[in-house]
Amino acid sequence: MSQTPQAAKFRPATEIDTLMPAIADPVTAADFPQTILRYRNDRAAASVGLADLSDAQWIAHFGRFAPLAGSLPRPLALRYHGHQFRQYNPDIGDGRGFLFAQLRDDAGRLLDLGTKGSGQTPYSRFGDGRLTLKGGVREILATEMLEALGVNTSKTFSIIETGEALERNDEPSPTRGAVMVRLSHSHVRIGSFQRAAFQDDKALLERLTDYALTRLYDEAPGDNPPAQLLGRVVERTADLAASYMVAGFVHGVLNSDNINVTGESFDYGPWRFTPLWDAAFTAAYFDHAGLYAFGRQAEAIHWDVAQLAVSLRPLVEAQPLIDQLERFPALYGDAMQRRFCWRLGVAPGQAPGPMIEAAVRAMVTSGTPIDRFFHDWRGGAAREGAGYDDAAWTPFREAIADFPAAPGARDHAYWSDDAPCSMHIDEVEAIWSAIDQDDDWAPLHAKVAAIRRMGEAHGKTATS
């Protein structure tokens, strides 16, 4: 039976119905032996009117998947294809997750509640449809850190332990199972369009284009809707690529089925934050060629967006699509400058490019950690005694002198901390070890609090 959330601002939606039945398959959630609430993101829940749910209601909806009143009556496993490490795969889709609900946030945006680890679907192939608890904990840490550093990311909404023991090749096994719910600005991805194009379904391509423009971008279709949509995706993904770089983040698996057409980052598997500005740093142990290395992420995302253009080609002539794709490098450069200055806490000025290039060269030459650099130079002046006097930093010291501090750049007490808040693999493993060995969740909660404090110190991201 459907349960009604006790929250005045809850605004359910069912916009995905306009794409049914072509876009997804109704599925049934797994029946877990236990449902132990481990994490609820009340900050995210407040934005969609669900923060007033009791723990029992929360578990009913996000552990046993009782429908949210007025939203989807049944979960939907989405259908899509995608290029995985540049190899086209028509045999994928939601294999261990589904679209559980749609709803609107306090700004009126259409959002999705999607799952990971909620059971097998028609696209599970040989998988068990489950998620490890460690994978859920890692996703909390990734999304919290990215949000604090201004990246447009999905939110980890809920983690519920399931009482199952899972076997995995990449974790000591048996390992604890969990089901995760994420809050996302859509689950329509480039791979959704690729599947429609692969099946020569022009009608579905047109419907996907209209859905993305009208429901996700809140725009009326113009004279050339496919090119209009591609232009928006180019803008959003160029900014996403820049935000990864400034955050020092490596997604690890930038396949086209992992690129949301809203430009929101999501689906975190083997992610890492690189300690140093190392273009060759990879997150996935299986990325032997470095296709998705730190310094190649813009290239990878641009390539994926080009596959969207190819998919839209049946609807429009090539040149308008090419024109939109060619905007990506300049947009990426602009976003890098804007976001770098934002994290550094300086006014962008007229031409920050040389200053940023000098900073990157100095970080590479000196081996200065990315987070340390941004912390020490916040507001455009080095912390006293921070040790930036050697010759490697001379060009940057000279360049940064032309950039005044942004208003209130160092007002927050965080900037007086001796060390920055970072998120590197040793700490991730230590947080997980406390949970795994002692069922001690205090280090995780403390880290989330520290990350959010850092996010408050940085302030609102500059978007233009």
Percent of the chain as helix, strand, coil, to the nearest 5: 45, 15, 40
Q: Which of 94, 127, 115, 124 is nearest to 159 (CA)?
A: 115
Alpha-carbon distance values, 323 to 230, 239, 328, 330, 464 (Å): 10, 18, 10, 12, 21
The answer to whether 159 and 178 have CB atoms below 8 angstroms apart is: yes
Distance CA 450, CA 453 (A): 5
To 10 degrees, what angle do helices 353-366 and 328-344 make?
A: 70
Q: Spot the catalytic one: 25, 94, 239, 257.
A: 257
C-alpha to C-alpha distance for 381 and 285, rounded to whole angstroms: 38
Per the CB < 8 A criterion, the answer to whether 91 and 144 are in contact is no
Strands 87-89 and 82-84: antiparallel
310 and 397 in contact (C-beta within 8 Å)? no
- DSSP H helical segments within 293-327, as ranges? 297-312, 318-325
Residue 112: closest CA among 160, 64, 71: 71
Residue 438 bears catalytic tag: no
| C-alpha–C-alpha distance, residues 221 and 229, integer Å | 9
The β-bridge partners of 116 are 180
Integer distance in angstroms from the first to the last C-alpha of the chain?
Answer: 46
Q: Give the active site residues.
A: 257
